[in-house]
Structure 1
Amino acid sequence: MSKPRQPLRSKQRNDNALPEPIFRFTSIVRNGWLVLGVALLTALIGILAALSVTPVYEGNILIQINRNAPLSREMQTNVPAATEVEILRSRSIITRVVKALQLDLSVEPKYFPVVGAFLARSDRGLPEFLELRGYAWGADRVNVSVFNVPGRLLRQSFALAVGRAGSFTLTHETLGIKLAGRVGQPARLRTRHGDIELLVSAIDARPGAQFVVTRNPTFQVVEQLRKSLSVTENGKESNVIGVSLKGSKPELISRILNQVGDEYVSQHVAQKSNETGRALAFYDQQLAESRQRMQKLDERLAQVLRAHGVSDLNEESTTLSQQSIALQAKLAEAEQQKLELSSRFLEQHPTVIVASRHIQDVRDDLNRLEARRRSLGAAQQEIARLTRDRQANSEVHMGLLNTQQKLAALMSSDNRDVRVVDRAEAPLQPGTLKLTVMIVLACLGGLAAGVIASVVKNAIVARNSRVTLLYMRDIPDRQEVTVSG
């Protein structure tokens, strides 16, 4: 008889078993191919983005304003630095800068997407057999001196293709414009919109390279440059103004800043010269009028002296005083003599008559002398007035002459109230991150993206495992039933 079979125990399921933690190193490494693929893809995208990023450079200049000019102290005005800041960014100065540097004329090489600009900046280029026609490689340059277009063609982009032996072709496919020319020779084309004038002065590019030529409205470029310029006073009441500019072309930045400084100094010198010239003309007129007044006073003084027949009224007055005293003494003596004769003779006596006539003659001489003395007194008063006027006019004339000499010296000197202390140099280091730093960051970012992708995958797998376990718990345990023999 066989032994009864023992019922088989059902296999126990480990319902508490959980998936492996998603952040465990082994769980991440298990997805190595995923981590590697995501890291490489992300790093490649980051490196391409780093190669396409245009570096930004910054340049600056310093301008000093001198408040005390020794030769123009009479004309010196204390202009606040805030006013000079606004003048520096004014349209009058910026417009002259734009026209002097032809900033409204844009000539940009047509680069290969993503890496073309990087290769051009590094001046490495590519071997000629690898270069694709239609793109500029390396340090290709075209110098356009004149590019005049009608108003309706402003902001339109023209393609300039470099040919062989100094030839080129300017085209605009949409408008159906095609203009051929050679270096150094003006080219002209009449279109339905107006005439196009082009002069290419130099070409340093391989045949087939293309450039995008655009003529922009001057006022638009002026406004853009005004907004890009940063003009501030360095310190409170320091009279030192800093001008800075950011851009992608170091040499152009330095040229723009130096041109801004030169135009500002030139305008200040021109304004100062105009003011000094107007003041000099005013003082010249005042000096001429002063000379005329002095000449009239001298003529009147000479006329008064000629009217009295003498050259020195003081000496003449002294002489007349002495003569008057002598005549008065003579008159007194004659009257005394007449009294003596009257005591002895009658009035009709010839001796008495002669004495009386002599007394009358002396009195007549004395009256004439007194009349001349009175006329000399009036003349002396007029001469004194003329002398005072001449002295006052002479002092005014000397003051005008001194100021006129200072202004003339100021016109001929190079004494400036403003000067550029530090001129701009082409910046060497960009303000953005270096390429090597961006590549390292792209690699680190790719690695981080790969780890995140692995963690996400582990999280999804763990979630699915939990769902499966919960589903299995809801199914009753299956037991094996034993049957006795």
Structure 2
Amino acid sequence: MPNTPNDHAKAQLDYQFDQDDDEINLGEVLGILLDSKWLIIGITFVALSLGVAKTFLDRPVYKADGLLQAKENTQSLAGLEPLTGLIDGKTPVLAEIELIKSRMILGKTIQSLHLDIVAKPKYFPIIGEAIARQFEKRNPDNAVANPLFDQIHYAWGGEAIQVDTFAVPADWEDEELILQAGKQGHFKLIRDDEIILEGEVGKLASMQLEGEKHSVSIFVSLLKARPDTYFTVMRQSKNQAIRNLRNSVSVTEKGKNTGILELTVESHSPDAAVSIVNEIANIYVQQNVDQKSAESQKTLEFLEKQLPIVKDQLEAATVALNEYRTRQGSIDLDLETQNILKSAVELRTQITLLQQKRDELRQRYTESHPTIISIDKQIARLQSQITAHDNKIEVLPETQQVILRLSRDVKVNTELYTTLLNNAQTLRIAKAGTIGNVRIIDYALLPDEPIKPKKLLIIGIAVILGIILGIVTAFVRRLLNRGVEDPHLIEKQLNIPVYATVPHSKSQKALYGKLKKPASSRHYTPVILALENREDIAIESLRSLRTTLHFAFLEARNNIIMITGPSPNIGKTFISVNLAVVMADAGKKVLLIDGDMRRGLIHKPLGLGRDNGLSELIFDAIKIEEAIHHIPQANIDFIPTGAIPPNPSELLLHERFGHFLENISAQYDLVIIDSPPILAVTDAAIIGRLASATLMVVKAGEHPMRELEQSTRRLIQAGTRLKGIVFNDLPQVSARHGYSYGKYVYQYSYKKGK
């Protein structure tokens, strides 16, 4: 038994939503990019504009650099090589780098250059400083503020200030105060809208704070600005000033194990960058010399303390030897005794020198230091040799022993005193000639161009980021847009054939502009694409639809076609009018009826009014001949909506409407009815039951699959014969892309047309 139309319609509802394979289609990607080309271009232009604005607004940063050399060993004056054993001159390069960035060096630099005092003009937010820079660049010698932006209080170019002294209480540090320029070099210092003190350029201004033991003082050496211009002044705390300077200072070794250090400083002022580099270099070299000189000074002080003691010991030993010779008479020592004496003197002298060196080292090292342990071993070895000599002395006659001991003491003290005198004099010379183990190779020079902002790099990055952001936005917009763009997906998901895909027509877009003009200026002539441009690609698609409909009507019960859609503004009227003209071109006698008695507008492109139409026919207020309007240019007949009734649905349900369609269809080869959207009202369901075929117009990318599913379900449940779908307004270059189910919001409002 053959299936009935309703059985076939119900079978169409039994579909399942298949998901496409996850495949990357280059054509889809290119299609998305082409569809969103203006979006990408717009975002790229915005990013480029922001990049250009950044290069204009960013303060230029200048970089100054100098070269230092950190040598491995201290260079002493010629002839002083023996002294180098007393002072260790080896310093790792990394230690020198950390020393340059230490609080000691940076603190002295801040104090010398007054870097803890920040004074600058107060500019208009965001753009003020950039405008001032441009003004100063074009007028470098101008001593007057920019007259084009003579805003009160703000600086607009040409202003300058120099503060040499600025003392505030500790709780005011790192706080910006306002300095307001006055007339003839006068100024006011303001805090929290309260005037703290008043002063004059070139004179120290101070004020004792009421109820406090602290005072505020400031010395302004330079102030160039129009009266009432604001400047910001701030006294930074020592820690904050050091942190800020350390962030701008960089020290690196050029090459490996070269000892050549590159000192660089970045600053918004090229003069300040040069001054800071040179000052840090000078302070660093001076402290190195002072440190080496301090080592020599410590050793010299130790020797000067030992010299009086050794001298007293020498004098006492000499007196004792002379007194003994006087009492005993002149006694000569034999050759063996003289040799013993010579050896004893050498040993005693070495032990005494080692003990002195040990005492000097103990001021810097502990008992467990390897150097002190080595000296102790040397002293012990020499002491054992002295004990052996003492045993030899004991076998000598008593007189020889006494003379030997007294002579030994004299000679030892003489040798020791002479050695100490020589070392002390050597250290005095070394201290005067100390040059340290670092030196300045290159001082910083004034930079020609700023290193930041790098305009070409910023603009290039902005363009690249703009393109990337535009592409990402295009894909995100596609992901958020649930509209179906692939007619094949509709056939696959809904099991309903797509009879035609109508491409987007640029000519139709131009015709819409004509329709917006008053009817009097168009002389009531039809504005139809099928008449204006018969070769348009959209019209060609409708000719293909005409062929498809020819075969679809072979078994039709009547010659009535209803055209509807899920929602408004999808081109339903465009399809109805142009399909009627195309059918008429094929020799068909065609009647076009505007069945949207809520907001039907077919009469406008046909150059007619809506009076005397379908609503009057159903009310039986006019005759059929009065409602039919012949359009000679299109060779079709047309029935407008007529007056907009208050109850369109009830009017369509009246039996007179059915009788009217039955009678009128016999007079024509084809009757085309343009009905309201199916999801908005029930009018389409009522009209569709009387037609032998229903076409649902779908706009590309406009409808989620769920909306199409619901539209199809309503039509079929109402008993309409949904033959197929017309896929309208397909972009000529389109991204074929599938979309998943999603929640949609549907609104449809009617306005009374004219």
TM-score for both structures, normalised by structure 2: 0.45
Give 2:56's aligned residue.
51
Deviations along 1:314-346, whole A, 9 cap, x unmatched?
79xxxxxxxxxxxxxxxxxxxxxxxxxxxxxxx
Cα distance change of structure 1 residues 195 and 291 upon mapping to structure 2, 3 Å threshold:
closer
Deviations along 1:6-63, whole A, 9 cap, x unmatched?
xxxxxxxxxxxxxxx88779x97xx8xx999988766554433221012233333333
- Measured in 2, the distance between the counterparts of 1:160 and 1:97 equals 26
Is the CA contact (8 Å cut-off) linking 1:46 and 1:442 kept in structure 2?
yes
Give 1:99's aligned residue.
111
Give 2:149's aligned residue.
131
Secondary structure at 2:265's aligned position in 1?
A: strand
Cα distance change of structure 1 residues 139 and 401 upon mapping to structure 2, 3 Å threshold:
farther
Give 1:10's aligned residue.
none
Give 1:475's aligned residue.
563
Q: Which moved more, 1:443-452 or 1:256-265?
A: 443-452
Q: Any stretches of 5+ residues in structure 2 without a counterpart?
A: 1-30, 140-144, 335-395, 488-497, 503-541, 546-561, 565-578, 584-589, 591-664, 669-754
- Measured in 1, the distance between the counterparts of 2:404 and 2:465 equals 101
Give 1:425's aligned residue.
445
Match of 1:140 among 159, 171, 177: 159
Instruction: Return the letter of the residue paired with 2:301.
Output: A
- Measured in 1, the distance between the counterparts of 2:333 and 2:426 equals 40
Q: Would you say 1:184 and 2:196 are equivalent positions?
A: no
Deviations along 1:272-305, whole A, 9 cap, x unmatched?
2222112101112222222222212221222122
Give 1:154's aligned residue.
173
State, as a whole percentage, how many aligned pairs show the same letter. 28
The structural deviation recorded for 1:96 is 2.0
Match of 1:387 among 369, 394, 407: 407
- Measured in 2, the distance between the counterparts of 1:455 and 1:236 equals 50
- Measured in 1, the distance between the counterparts of 2:468 and 2:204 equals 58
Give 1:349's aligned residue.
none
- Measured in 1, the distance between the counterparts of 2:258 and 2:320 equals 58
Cα distance change of structure 1 residues 139 and 382 upon mapping to structure 2, 3 Å threshold:
farther
- Measured in 1, the distance between the counterparts of 2:101 and 2:485 equals 69
Is the CA contact (8 Å cut-off) linking 1:119 and 1:125 kept in structure 2?
no
Is the CA contact (8 Å cut-off) linking 1:304 and 1:379 kept in structure 2?
no
- Measured in 2, the distance between the counterparts of 1:297 and 1:118 equals 86
Deviations along 1:336-381, whole A, 9 cap, x unmatched?
xxxxxxxxxxxxxxxxxxxxxxxxxxxxxxxxxxxxxxxx964444
Give 1:74's aligned residue.
85
- Measured in 2, the distance between the counterparts of 1:191 and 1:465 equals 79
The structural deviation recorded for 1:131 is 3.5
Give 2:278's aligned residue.
258
Q: Would you say 1:118 and 2:118 are equivalent positions?
A: no
Deviations along 1:378-408, whole A, 9 cap, x unmatched?
4444333332333333333333222212201
- Measured in 2, the distance between the counterparts of 1:292 and 1:450 equals 94
Cα distance change of structure 1 residues 231 and 455 upon mapping to structure 2, 3 Å threshold:
closer
Match of 2:68 among 63, 66, 76: 63
Is the CA contact (8 Å cut-off) linking 2:188 and 2:195 kept in structure 1?
no
Give 2:269's aligned residue.
249
Is the CA contact (8 Å cut-off) linking 1:283 and 1:400 kept in structure 2?
yes
- Measured in 2, the distance between the counterparts of 1:281 and 1:465 equals 95
Secondary structure at 2:137's aligned position in 1?
A: coil
Secondary structure at 2:164's aligned position in 1?
A: strand
Give 1:90's aligned residue.
102
Instruction: Return the letter of the residue paired with 1:80.
Output: P
Is the CA contact (8 Å cut-off) linking 2:146 and 2:157 kept in structure 1?
no
Is the CA contact (8 Å cut-off) linking 1:136 and 1:209 kept in structure 2?
yes
Deviations along 1:45-103, whole A, 9 cap, x unmatched?
44332210122333333332231433440233223233333322222222222222222
Cα distance change of structure 1 residues 404 and 139 upon mapping to structure 2, 3 Å threshold:
farther
1:187-266 to 2 correspondences below 5 Å: 187-189=205-207, 190-191=209-210, 194-266=214-286
- Measured in 2, the distance between the counterparts of 1:39 and 1:234 equals 41
Instruction: Return the letter of the residue paired with 1:387.
Output: S
TM-score for both structures, normalised by structure 1: 0.67
The structural deviation recorded for 1:107 is 0.6
Deviations along 1:240-273, whole A, 9 cap, x unmatched?
3333333322222222222222222232222322
- Measured in 2, the distance between the counterparts of 1:42 and 1:426 equals 34
Is the CA contact (8 Å cut-off) linking 1:148 and 1:197 kept in structure 2?
yes
Match of 1:403 among 419, 423, 434: 423
Q: Would you say 1:296 and 2:316 are equivalent positions?
A: yes
Give 2:677's aligned residue.
none
Secondary structure at 1:399's aligned position in 2?
A: helix
The structural deviation recorded for 1:454 is 12
- Measured in 2, the distance between the counterparts of 1:130 and 1:475 equals 66
Name which structure has the greater RCO, CA cutoff 8 Å, separation 6+. 1
Is the CA contact (8 Å cut-off) linking 2:117 and 2:235 kept in structure 1?
yes
Cα distance change of structure 1 residues 160 and 385 upon mapping to structure 2, 3 Å threshold:
same
In the comparison of the two structures, how many residue pairs are matched? 396
- Measured in 1, the distance between the counterparts of 2:469 and 2:429 equals 74
Cα distance change of structure 1 residues 49 and 233 upon mapping to structure 2, 3 Å threshold:
closer
- Measured in 2, the distance between the counterparts of 1:146 and 1:42 equals 45
More helix by share: 1
Is the CA contact (8 Å cut-off) linking 1:125 and 1:138 kept in structure 2?
no
Is the CA contact (8 Å cut-off) linking 2:62 and 2:268 kept in structure 1?
yes
- Measured in 1, the distance between the counterparts of 2:247 and 2:255 equals 22
